[in-house]
Amino acid sequence: MNHWLFKSEPFKFSLDDLKTKGEKGEEWDGVRNYAARNNMRAMQIGDLGFFYHSNEGLNVVGIVEVCALAHPDSTADDPRWECVDIRYVRDMPNPPTLADIKANPKLSEMALVRLGRLSVQPVTRAEWEEVCRMGGLVPAP
């Protein structure tokens, strides 16, 4: 299993919005960055990810699961753009902030720290466990 981080501005689409979609989940559409698209192409059903609120909050607020493999993005006119579907798994009990993550030396190489603008990012197993620990999820799911 691989781990990921999905960034969203909560005024556009929040974790609460994803919760309302239920088991079916929601298409992670609108991504127009090749690296982020390629990350989604690498995802497998059941991979887990952090749901990160960007611009407002700046924190990891929950855990999501990939529930559909990469497929054409319904919001794109160009077939180059693909996306996965994700669904809500659980809230993060104590959402770690970006400042907390940046201050943690164990996370200094995390994509969220190094590649702040990338909307879909890989997360290593060690990073996953550390962010979960910071957020009050021990053991990490």
Q: Quick: pLDDT tens for 92-138.
A: 999 999 999 999 999 999 999 998 789 999 999 999 999 999 999 99
The domain ranges of the chain are 3-135
User: CA 36, 126, 18 angle in degrees (round to 5)?
Assistant: 45
Q: What is the pLDDT of residue 25?
A: 97
The Cα–Cα gap between 16 and 101 comes to 23
Looking at every residue in the chain, the average pLDDT score rounds to 96
Pick 3-135's CATH classification: 3.40.50.300, 3.20.20.120, 3.10.590.10, 3.40.47.10: 3.10.590.10
Residues 51-81: pLDDT tens digits?
Answer: 999 998 999 999 999 999 999 999 999 999 9
Q: Give Cα separations from 87 to 1, 15, 19, 101, 115 (angstroms).
A: 16, 10, 7, 24, 24
